[in-house]
Structure 1
Amino acid sequence: MTLNELKYIVAVAKEKHFRKASEICFVSQPTLSVAIKKLEDELGVTLFERRKQDVLVTPIGKQIIGIAEEILERSKDIKQIAKEAQGDLTTELKIGAIYTIAPYLLPKLIPSFHKIAPNIPLVIEENYTHVLADKLKSGELDIVILSLPFDEPNIETYNLYEETFSAIVPNEHPLANSTKPVDLESLEDETILLLGSGHCFRDQVVEAFPGLTNLNLQNSRLQKTFEGSSLETIRYMVSSGAGISIFPCTSLSERDEELFTIKPIKSPVPKRTVALAWRKTFSRMQALELFKQAIESIKIPCTQSSQ
């Protein structure tokens, strides 16, 4: 059994195709096929069911490939530990962040990190929490920035800060001139614009105010029209007078004052905790600590430290 053979079976499992896997591994298809057959013979099991159009991973194959992924990831760690022990901090750091955090934190974070660690390139990805979780566990990402709760096996988290939620209303709306905090549970005649399913921020808002989805079903079809939208889309929908929404406070700034009115929410004010997450087996602790330092060195408005 060799690392190359493990690399080949992981590639086939991912691509569900021998030719495509061989291209990713930069070997000929016969070379890859022979190596995988050799490994199956050595183990005495069938890892893949070969079909005309694709490949099916067998149940035992899934177990073995899961272990193979861990071994390949740890083999990378061996080289990385040796490099960092020699003071080499030049390997890229692959970062993921959810959609409702990335646009508002990363523009400040990236310059801060490059100042602290100028030789470490950052590769950035925005995505949904469940996608980032899968990529973190598979080693495609090193660190992710998301909101809690995030309970995944073999994953460590580090709380960064807490932020409250605010209501945003059109400037012409009667609530814009009210001196009272917005009571979201009493907005029976209002259109509430929320992110679509898949966004953890939507889930957090609905958890705090479960009646909001019922209001939309009873009074408006706009919510279905804009499911899956970004905060930026909803920002301009509110500005146009289409409805009211709830935003995390870090996504709001002085530039929004011309678009709509930002209102506090009646107590208890909902909030979320933003955290870092990484694999327990992640070996680049020096790079991780530098990344933490970079975040903690920047000023993030309307937040409180979670430490």
Structure 2
Amino acid sequence: MSFPPTLKQLRYLVALHRTNHFGKAADACHVTQSTLSAGLQELENLLGTQLVERTKRSVMFTALGEEVVRRALVILNDVDDLTDMAAAAKDPLKGIVRLGIIPTIAPFLLPKIMPEIRNALPDLELHLREDKSAELCELIKTGELDLVLFALPFACGDVAEMPLFHDPFLVAFPAGEGPENGINSTELDESRLMLLEEGHCLREHALEACQLLGRGARRELSGTSLNTIVQMVAAGHGITLLPGMAVEAGLAEGAGVHVVPFKDMVPTRTIGLIWRKTNPRAKTFEALGNVIKKVMHHHGENLACAS
């Protein structure tokens, strides 16, 4: 009689696939490397086939190994959702919520919303992780995060979305340059426009805004963070689009830049929450989203709540 794979073995396999490194996978699973290796070997023996090709320098999954990982993710997410469903049935506003947040939102929004979340949902414990959109999206799929605070839209598979508010873009010039009270979209100089490097969703949303305005961007000049971009603008290398929440939080203060709004068409990005549609804690996430909505509605006139 053959026995089915254990959840522990499947978690070992998924961790190895995600990290592509036995030591890192073992750390993620809080076991020794020998324990993880033995568990994976038991899984291969149980299934009667090789799932992972092992060399001294690399880890490569076989075609069947990739398929087993794909199905293991579904199984593990279903098991986790089952546990969450039971917990949510007892008290949806209690327990741990693993929240991912992107770097172009985290430092500007968290100081505003965290105190209010603690007051409104005192029994909810937030575990935060900051990373780029693609990485957070993958963690949602693998079940390592419950939900993500994103700039929408972002293609992340079969997820539920809860738009919260609109964040307008403003234009940053070197100090002493640019109009005093605002700029028309037709006046934006695309030849001087700088954006974040590839991999940041803010770049994509800014490019979409530029297309909306009929403008392009200088792709040869980019920065690794909003702080870097602001410094480049201050040094006279060009101009950039900054999210309103960053400006409102003081990113441009004392930085040697002059920030102005658009006077005609105002490009925006939509800030919202996403989670797996199969996650049974939707009411929990909606309650969290409603607190954020309320905070941002009362916090500033420039940030409009999304419907």
Structure 2 partner of 1:125 = 129
User: Structure 2 vs 1, CA of residues 76 and 125 (structure 1 numbering), >3 Å: closer, same or farther?
Assistant: same
Alignment of 1:8-23 (within 5 A): 8-18=12-22, 21-22=25-26
Residue 264 of structure 1 deviates from its aligned partner by 2.5
- CA spacing shift, 1:44–1:105, aligned 2, 3 Å: same
Rate the CA distance shift 1:30–1:162 in 2: closer, same or farther, 3 A: closer
Q: Distance in 1 between matches of 2:165 and 2:282?
A: 21
Task: Give the C-alpha shift of residue 290 in structure 1.
Answer: 2.4
- What value does the CA root-mean-square deviation take over the aligned residues? 2.9
Provide closer, same or farther for how the CA distance between residues 33 and 195 of structure 1 changes in structure 2, counting only shifts above 3 A: closer
The alpha-carbon distance between structure 1 residues 24 and 160, as it changes in their structure 2 partners (threshold 3 A), is closer
Q: Distance in 1 between matches of 2:231 and 2:95?
A: 40
SS state at 1:150 partner: coil
Computing the radius of gyration from Cα coordinates, the structure with the larger value is 1
Q: 2:261 aligned with 1:264, yes or no?
A: yes
Contact 2:173–2:258 under 8 Å retained in 1: yes
Q: Which residue in 1 is equivalent to 2:193?
A: 192
Match of 1:284 in 2: 281
Paired position in structure 2 for 1:206 = 207
Are 1:81 and 2:85 an aligned pair?
A: yes
Whole-angstrom distance in 2 between the partners of 1:101 and 1:35: 40
User: Does residue 250 in structure 1 map to residue 250 in structure 2?
Assistant: no
Asked whether 1:61 is paired with 2:65, we answer yes
1:181 aligns with 2:183: yes
Match of 1:104 among 102, 108, 112: 108
Opposite residue 262 of structure 2, the aligned amino acid is: I
Deviation at 1:288, TM superposition (A): 1.0
Q: Is residue 2:292 matched to residue 1:295?
A: yes
Contact in 2 for aligned 1:113/1:290 (Cα 8 Å): no
Change (3 A) 1:75 1:170: same
Report the secondary structure of 2:140's partner residue. Answer: helix
Which residues in structure 2 correspond to 1:136-175 (within 5 Å)?
A: 136-173=140-177, 175=178
Matches of 1:199 and 1:81, distance apart in 2: 33
Q: Deviation digits for residues 249-278 of structure 1, max 9, x if unmatched? A: 222138546654332225332222222111
Shift of 1:15: 4.3
Instruction: Supply the distance in 2 between the matched residues of 1:115 and 1:228 (Cα, whole angstroms).
Output: 37
Structure 1, residues 93-113: CA drift from partner, whole Å, max 9, x if none? Answer: 111122222222111111111
Cα distance between partner residues in 1 of 2:249 and 2:143:
38
Q: Is the 8 A contact 1:160 1:276 kept in 2?
A: yes
Distance in structure 2 (CA, Å) of the matches to 1:180 and 1:158: 31
1:96-147 CA distance string (max 9 Å, x none) = 1222222221111111111122232212222222111111111222111112
Matching residue's letter, 2:87: K
2: CA distance between counterparts of 1:40 and 1:159? 44
Task: Answer yes or no: is the 8 Å Cα contact 2:15–2:29 preserved in 1.
Answer: yes
Amino acid of the structure 2 residue aligned with 1:148: L
Where does the alignment leave 5 or more consecutive residues of structure 1 unmatched? 218-222
The letter of the residue matching 1:247 is L
Q: Give me the whole-angstrom Cα distance separating, in 1, the residues matched to 2:208 and 2:115.
A: 35
One-letter identity of the residue aligned with 2:278: T
Which residue type is aligned with residue 245 of structure 1? T
SS in 2 for 1:209: helix
Counting aligned pairs with the same residue, the percent is 33
Q: Would the alpha carbon gap of residues 199 and 300 (structure 1) be closer, same or farther in structure 2, given more than 3 Å must change?
A: farther
Write the distance in 1 (CA, Å) between the matches of 2:29 and 2:174. Answer: 54
How many residue pairs get matched?
295
Structure 1 residue 87 displacement after superposition: 3.2
Asked if 2 retains the 8 angstrom alpha-carbon contact of 1:156 and 1:279, the reply is yes
Quick one: structure 1 residues 42 and 159, their matched pair in 2 at CA, closer, same or farther if it must change by over 3 Å? same
SS for the counterpart of 1:134 is: helix
| C-alpha separation in 1, matches of 2:146 and 2:16 | 23
Q: CA separation in 1, counterparts of 2:35 and 2:71?
A: 22
d(CA) in 2 for partners of 1:17, 1:253:
42
Separation in structure 2 between the aligned mates of residue 18 and residue 170 of structure 1, nearest angstrom: 49
Q: Deviations over 1:202-243 (max 9, x none)?
A: 222223335443xx47xxxxx63xx23322233344345543
Among 52, 72, 79, which residue is 1:48 paired with?
Answer: 52
CA distance in structure 2 between the partners assigned to 1:40 and 1:269 by the alignment:
57
1: CA distance between counterparts of 2:26 and 2:170? 51
How is 1:209-224 mapped onto 2 (pairs within 5 angstroms)? 209=210, 211-213=215-217, 216=218, 224=221
Task: Report deviation, 1:20.
Answer: 5.6
**Partner-residue secondary structure (3-state), 1:282:** coil
Q: CA 1:288/1:231 → structure 2, altered by over 3 Å: closer, same or farther? A: same
Q: TM-score of the superposition, structure 2-length normalised?
A: 0.82
Which stretch of the first structure deviates more once superposed, 203-212 or 29-38?
Answer: 29-38
